[in-house]
Chains A and B, each alone.
Chain A
Amino acid sequence: MLATDDQILNEAEAWKRAGRQVAVATVIETWGSAPRPVGSHLVIDGEGNFLGSVSGGCVEGEVITQALDVIADATPRMLEFGVADETAWRVGLSCGGRIRVFVEPVT
């Protein structure tokens, strides 16, 4: 079964209680045909393990990299991905949409 976003937050709590460092990424805004709806979560631990999805696979790698920085300096970050963004050369949404992702540490 696919993990729902609710199960993902349960898992985030369990990871944190187990002593792992955890960040939660959330899709907070979408434009055009975004692959995952607003409110979708990706949970990342300090080792780069992850659960959930914010883009169906397009930009997860970059979100995970940024999440490791968020964990390291305990400071939230706002990320934006899409064709209108210069990072599209590096990571972009093939579907042509844009998404904004908020990444925060669990403290």
Chain B
Amino acid sequence: MELESLATLNAERAARRAAVLVTPLDGGPQRLVKAADVAGDPLGAGIAERLRLGKSGLLETDAGRYFLTVQVPPVRLVVTGAVHISQALAPMARLIDLDVTIIDPRTAFASPERFPDVRLLAAWPDAVLRDMPIDRYTAFAALTHDPKIDDPALAAALRSEAFYVGALGSRKTHAKRLERLGEQGFSDMDLARIKAPIGLPIGAVSPAEIALAILGEVVAALRLTSPRGEAS
């Protein structure tokens, strides 16, 4: 592995772009293929499939055997609501290597004392998500219970390739939410992406238990399907 390939791999990942290091197992030079250049590569189809799965693995072709080291960006969890559940969610999410951002314009909630060591943005989600777009390696959870904050963020998430979109609230709350978002022009298929009530059905009661249910659902979306949410 040349230092230059290794450096490019790391730089692409830091810039939230995927890249693949192709190692011919019968000898021959390695090469690095950036996500944007996959289509033009001789092994394009095989590399594209590996990228879709987001997993490293072997590729066997008539031309030989290759190992593809797939590097995808760190998985992000974007949350609206610096609420009680988020206080439990943030440290738990960090343990499973999710890069957490919490957005809440209410400065009384979004205080560093309540959220040590977390990227906490005391701003409106539409402004934040314009500067930090949600990509296919991002999960989004709406947790404020306040439509003024959650709705614009959910709209941004539904317009994105987010691999997970979840929203807190009872079935009744969610039905009203779907009505509002429907009026904004989202189709039933768009709206069906929203996991609500949020979280795996484990009978969660306390904020930490609800956080666990949410994270379980996020991990399932990440691991049981490809980053785009297609069945793998």
Interface on A for B, CB 8 Å cutoff?
Answer: 1-2, 4, 6, 9-10, 12-13, 16-17, 24, 26, 28-29, 37-39, 78, 102, 104-107
Contact = CB atoms under 8 A, between A and B. Distances in A.
B77 to A, nearest CB: 15
Nearest to A104: B1
A38 B94 contact: no
Interface of B: 1-3, 6-7, 9-10, 13, 23, 25, 55-58, 67, 69-71, 74, 94-95, 97
B67 A1 contact: no
Nearest to A12: B6
Contact of B3 (A2, A10, A102, A106): A106
Q: Is the interface of B mostly helix, strand, loop or mixed?
A: mixed
Contacts of A26: 56, 67, 69
B2 A107 contact: yes
Contacts of B10: 9-10, 13
A9 B67 contact: no
Given A1-B95, A6-B13, A105 B55 contact: no
24 contacts: A1-B95, A2-B97, A6-B13, A6-B71, A10-B10, A12-B6, A13-B10, A16-B3, A16-B6, A24-B6, A26-B56, A26-B67, A28-B25, A28-B58, A29-B58, A39-B69, A78-B25, A102-B25, A102-B67, A104-B1, A105-B1, A106-B3, A106-B6, A107-B3
A105 B3 CA distance: 10
Nearest to A10: B10
Contacts of A10: 10
B97 to A, nearest CB: 5
Nearest to B67: A28
A39 B21 CA distance: 11
B56 A1 contact: no
Contacts of A6: 13, 71, 74
A38 B56 CA distance: 6
Contacts of B56: 26, 38-39
Given A2-B97, A24-B1, A24-B6, 10 more contacts: A6-B74, A9-B9, A13-B6, A26-B69, A28-B67, A38-B56, A104-B23, A106-B6, A107-B1, A107-B2
